[in-house]
Amino acid sequence: MITPVSYPYVIIVAVAAVLLWAITRKSERLRTRYFKLTSSAKVRRNGFKLKAAGKPDYFELTGVPPPKPLPNFNIDEALPRPYRPFRWKYHQTMSLLNMEPDWWIELESTYRERISQRKKLYAEHGTKIVDSLPQSEGACLELAEMVIQFLCARYPSQFHRDSSGTFHNNILGTSTNIQTVEPLIFLLENVPEDFLIVLEDEKSGLYHFRAGVSASAMGWNMSIKIGRPLHEIHGPVPFYQEKMRYSMDRYFTKMGVDKPIQRGSWGFEIGQPLYLQTDEPEWSHRNVQDPSLDINDIYLRVDWQTLRRLPKSRAIVFNFKALFTPVTHFREEPFIPRLIATVIRESERPLMEYKSSSHTEHKLLPALDEWAKEQEEKGWVPRDWKVRTLDENPFYPGWELHHKY
Ligand code: HEM
C-alpha cells in the first residue's frame, strides 16, 4: 500500500525507470546509426535474419554501377584475366588502381575445386580460416548482401535469389536459406576469395581487423592477426612502417564508398600452395634451391585484391583471390620475361626476401633471360627497350586476344 510517507520513494523509482528507458533507447539508436542497417535487419551472432523485402540496392547506394551481365558465362571455360602486376622501378607503395566495377568478383574454371579446398581447410583449421569479433555482425551481413547482389547481376545463369529469399547456386547445385546461414559461411561456400573486414576502432580511430574468411594465407593466419590495427598486421612487410603506415591510415579514414580500388601482390611458388603455415615442411623447402627443380613446376602466384567501403556498416573490405599461372606462359607474353627478370635481380633485397621466392630463382632467371632474348629476336620487344612499368599494367600488350569475355 502506498502511504503518504512512501510517495518520495515512488517518485524516485519512477524517475529512475524513465531515465533507464531513455538511456536504453538512446544506445539502441546509436547502435542502429553505427550499423545504419535497415530496420528489418536483425543481427544475431549465430544465425541471422536477412529480410528479403526492403533490402537496399547496393549499386545505387554506393554509386558503383552494376556489372555487365555475362548471360552465356561458362565456368568450365572461364580463364582468369592474366594479371601481371609487375612495376619497375619497384618500390614499396600502395600502388592502387581504380577498381573496374565488372570485376569485383571474378569467377573462373578452378571454382569448384577451390570451393571444396577452402571448405576442407575450414574443417581442418576452424577459426584460423573463418572468424569474427563482436560488433562485426552488421558488416558481415552487409557484405554477404552486396556479394549476392553482385553475383546475381554478373552471372545471372549461375546464381539467383528467389522470392522466398533462398539463394541458388547453379554451378554447385546448392540452395542456401539466406535467413539462417552465417554470412561468412555463405561466402566460404559460394565465393572462392578471401574477405578481410576492417572496422574503425572508436578509441584510436585506426582500422582494426574484425572478421573474415581467410583460406589463402601464406605464412600467417587469422588467429595471429585478428583484432589488430593495420600497422601491426603489416609488421613483417618491408618498409611498411616508414613508407606506407601513415598514408594507409589516412587512406582508410577517408576512403569513400564510391571509390573502390584494386591492386596485386605477387610471388613465385613451386606447385600451387594456397594456404601454407610456417610450421609445415613445405615452408622450410622455400629456403632451398633444388637443382632438379623442373621449370614446369614453377608458378606465378598473384593475389588480385580489391578494397571497398561498405556504405551502412562503414567497414572496409579487402577481398582477393589467388591465381596461379605456369611461368612457361611468359614465353608468349611480350615484355613480361624481361620485366620480371629485372624486378627480381635489381629490386631492394628486403622486398625480394619477404616474397621468399629464392627457391625458384636458379631455374626461373635463366628461363626468363632465354625467353626475353627470343622475344627480341622475334621483334616483339625492341632490343633497346628500357625496362619500365607497362602501359597495359596489370596486363601486357595483346592479352585480350587470348582472353575474350
Ligand atoms: C590499400 C590497402 C592495402 C595495401 C596497399 C596493402 C599492402 C600490403 C603489402 C605491400 C603487403 C606485402 C605483400 C605484397 O607485396 O603485396 C601486404 C601484406 C599483408 N596485408 Fe596488406 N595491404 C592493404 C590492406 C590490407 C588489409 C585491409 C588487410 C586486412 C587485414 C591486410 C592484410 C595483410 C596481411 C595479413 C598481409 C601479410 C602480412 C604478413 O606477411 O604477415 N592488408 N599488404
Q: Which residues of 147-182 are buried (b: 16+ CB within 10 A; e: fewer)?
A: bbbbbbbbbeebbebeeebebebebbeeebebeebb
Protein residue with least CA distance to atom 40, ligand 1:
236
Protein residue with least CA distance to atom 21, ligand 1:
234
Protein residue with least CA distance to atom 13, ligand 1:
265
Asked whether the predicted pLDDT for residue 63 surpasses 50, the reply is yes
What separation in Å is there between the alpha carbon of 390 and the centre of ligand 1? 23
Q: What is the pLDDT of residues 65-124, one digit of tens each?
A: 999 999 999 999 999 999 999 999 999 999 999 999 999 999 999 999 999 999 999 999
Nearest atom, ligand 1, residue 94 CA:
5
Q: Is 237 in the pocket of ligand 1 (CB under 6 A)?
A: yes
Q: Report, as an integer, the average pLDDT of 319-337.
A: 98
Q: Is 154 in the pocket of ligand 1 (CB under 6 A)?
A: no
User: Would you place residue 37 in the very low, low, confident or very high pLDDT band (cuts 50, 70, 90)?
Assistant: very low
Q: Is 318 in the pocket of ligand 1 (CB under 6 A)?
A: yes
Q: 127: number of CA atoms within 13 Å, CB side? A: 9
Q: Is 236 in the pocket of ligand 1 (CB under 6 A)?
A: yes
Q: Is 209 in the pocket of ligand 1 (CB under 6 A)?
A: yes
Q: Is 97 in the pocket of ligand 1 (CB under 6 A)?
A: no
What separation in Å is there between the alpha carbon of 234 and the centre of ligand 1? 6
Question: Which one of 87, 90, 233 would you pick to mutate in the ligand 1 pocket, going by the greatest count of ligand atoms within 8 A of its CB?
Answer: 233
How far is CA 75 from each of CA 70, 107, 234, 265, 343, rounded to the nearest angstrom? 11, 7, 35, 24, 34
pLDDT (0 to 100) of residue 285: 86
* CB-based contacts of 50, cutoff 8 Å, min separation 6: 41, 141, 144, 145, 165, 178, 179
pLDDT (0 to 100) of residue 403: 75
The CA distance from 304 to 307, in Å, is 10
Nearest atom, ligand 1, residue 237 CA:
12
What separation in Å is there between the alpha carbon of 375 and the centre of ligand 1? 34
The CA distance from 42 to 142, in Å, is 12
What cell was used for 271? 606447385
Instruction: State pTM to two decimals.
Output: 0.87
pLDDT (0 to 100) of residue 325: 97
What separation in Å is there between the alpha carbon of 355 and the centre of ligand 1? 12
Question: Which one of 303, 318, 343, 356 would you pick to mutate in the ligand 1 pocket, going by the greatest count of ligand atoms within 8 A of its CB?
Answer: 318
Q: Is 225 in the pocket of ligand 1 (CB under 6 A)?
A: yes
Protein residue with least CA distance to atom 16, ligand 1:
265
Q: Where do we find the cell 596461379?
A: 324
Q: Name the average pLDDT for the chain.
A: 89
Question: Which one of 87, 136, 208, 234 would you pick to mutate in the ligand 1 pocket, going by the greatest count of ligand atoms within 8 A of its CB?
Answer: 234
**Percentage with pLDDT > 70 across the chain:** 86
Protein residue with least CA distance to atom 39, ligand 1:
236
Q: Is 220 in the pocket of ligand 1 (CB under 6 A)?
A: yes
Asked whether the predicted pLDDT for residue 369 surpasses 80, the reply is yes
Are 324 and 272 a contacting pair, CB within 8 Å? yes
Protein residue with least CA distance to atom 9, ligand 1:
237
pLDDT (0 to 100) of residue 402: 76
Q: Report, as an integer, the average pLDDT of 207-222.
A: 98
User: Would you place residue 183 in the very low, low, confident or very high pLDDT band (cuts 50, 70, 90)?
Assistant: very high
Q: Is 198 in the pocket of ligand 1 (CB under 6 A)?
A: yes
Q: Is 238 in the pocket of ligand 1 (CB under 6 A)?
A: no
Q: What is the pLDDT of residues 115-168, one digit of tens each?
A: 999 999 999 999 999 999 999 999 999 999 999 999 999 999 999 999 898 999
The CA distance from 125 to 190, in Å, is 19
What separation in Å is there between the alpha carbon of 318 and the centre of ligand 1? 9
Are 36 and 56 a contacting pair, CB within 8 Å? no
Asked whether the predicted pLDDT for residue 32 surpasses 70, the reply is no
Are 264 and 90 a contacting pair, CB within 8 Å? no
Protein residue with least CA distance to atom 7, ligand 1:
94
